[in-house]
Amino acid sequence: MQTDKHIRIGNGYDVHRLAGGRDFWLGGCCITHTKGCVAHSDGDVLIHAICDALLGAAALRDIGFHFPDSDPKYKGIDSKQLLTDTMSLVRAEGYEVGNVDTVVCLQSPKIAVCIPDMRQTLARVMQVSETRISIKATTTEGLGFEGREEGVSAYAVALLTK
Ligand code: MG
């Protein structure tokens, strides 16, 4: 019989297109920028990638399954609410967060100064210690859609324990 040590890993990835005249939400924080993400929700790619990593680790499908962008209920929704709801789904299965590690890929603006705020915000929303949340940022050296500043992508991995 398979023994389950109750350690589960999940990964998540998300992309949103950037366009002018909208707020740029990232990691639950509004970042000063000339563009923002185009989305049904507030377009927070980092939170969306984290939600998918958490759901994936618990084998609970994906963010689109639970919060479909065809549902008017989620139009313009604060992604922090999606993360709150995702944590409820994960905790309902008896899991707690071991750690979450992420990478945000964007050419500009430089978000290093915003990382402490994003970490603190995510920790509060997820009700975990900040020490369990890591946010990293990289440019793509001008290559691809991130490099052309047409969009932003984010990767996340999450470890869950039971
Ligand atoms: Mg998304």
Domain ranges of the chain: 7-161
DSSP three-state, residue 49 = helix
The HSE-up count of residue 38 (CA atoms within 13 Å, CB side) is 8
What local confidence, expressed as pLDDT, does residue 75 receive? 87
What local confidence, expressed as pLDDT, does residue 1 receive? 58
Element (H, E) at 48: helix 45-57
Give residue 131 CA to ligand 1 midpoint distance, Å.
Answer: 25
CA dihedral over 131, 81, 53, 33, signed as positive or negative: negative
Q: Cα(115)–Cα(109) distance, rounded to whole angstroms?
A: 12
Give residue 93 CA to ligand 1 midpoint distance, Å.
Answer: 24
Cis peptide, bond prior to residue 116, ω within 30 of zero:
no
Give residue 3 CA to ligand 1 midpoint distance, Å.
Answer: 35
Q: Cα(100)–Cα(135) distance, rounded to whole angstroms?
A: 9
Give residue 43 CA to ligand 1 midpoint distance, Å.
Answer: 6
Q: Domain 7-161 class?
A: alpha beta
Burial of 101 (0-12, 13-18, 19+ CB in 10 A): middle
Residues 72/77/79/82 CA torsion (nearest 10 deg): -50
Q: Which two tokens stand for residue 5?
A: 């040590």
What local confidence, expressed as pLDDT, does residue 4 receive? 60
| Confidence (pTM) | 0.95
Give residue 64 CA to ligand 1 midpoint distance, Å.
Answer: 9
What local confidence, expressed as pLDDT, does residue 78 receive? 95
| Residues of the chain falling short of pLDDT 70 | 1-4
What local confidence, expressed as pLDDT, does residue 76 receive? 87
Instruction: For residue range 81-127, list pLDDT tens digits in order.
Output: 999 999 999 999 999 999 999 999 999 999 999 999 999 999 999 99
Give residue 11 CA to ligand 1 midpoint distance, Å.
Answer: 14
Reduced to 3 DSSP states, what percent helix, strand and coil does the chain have, rounded to the nearest 5? Answer: 35, 30, 35
